[in-house]
Structure 1
Amino acid sequence: MTAIEQYLIDTWRASQQGAPMPPPPGRDDVAVLRAGRTYLQFRAVLDGGEARRPWWAALRRLNHAHGAR
């Protein structure tokens, strides 16, 4: 059974029982990824490192790659 099929069954069941509707699949995926990134940055600071920002590092790599031509 796919996640969509399970979601439809849970939605139907919630409507029959008067319960709150379940969240759609994938709704909180980005929030989970952000929380994981924030936790890794937090752990890096506790370990004595710096809280790096992966987007800035990726942009820096791209700029150095283009500047090397």
Structure 2
Amino acid sequence: MNSAAELLLEHARTLEADGPVPSPCISVCRMDAASGLCEGCFRTLEEIAAWGLAADEDKRAIWLELVERARQA
């Protein structure tokens, strides 16, 4: 597992069930051409673009996907 994946997984463990949902961005903003995912936060361009207007439940669903993607990295 790479260091970005480890950092993302550590960040995911601190999420509160009812609190505000923080961005998964870790300021490593490079898109991997092969996977279509950001190398830092494992989001797609669509997920990154939609994040600011997304409802908290949608953000939590994205976080669940990111955790799975990071584990596979």
What range describes the TM-score normalised by the shorter chain of this pair?
Answer: under 0.3
Q: Specify which structure has the bigger relative contact order, considering alpha-carbon pairs within 8 angstroms and separated by 6 or more residues.
A: 2
Give the structure-1-normalised TM-score. 0.28
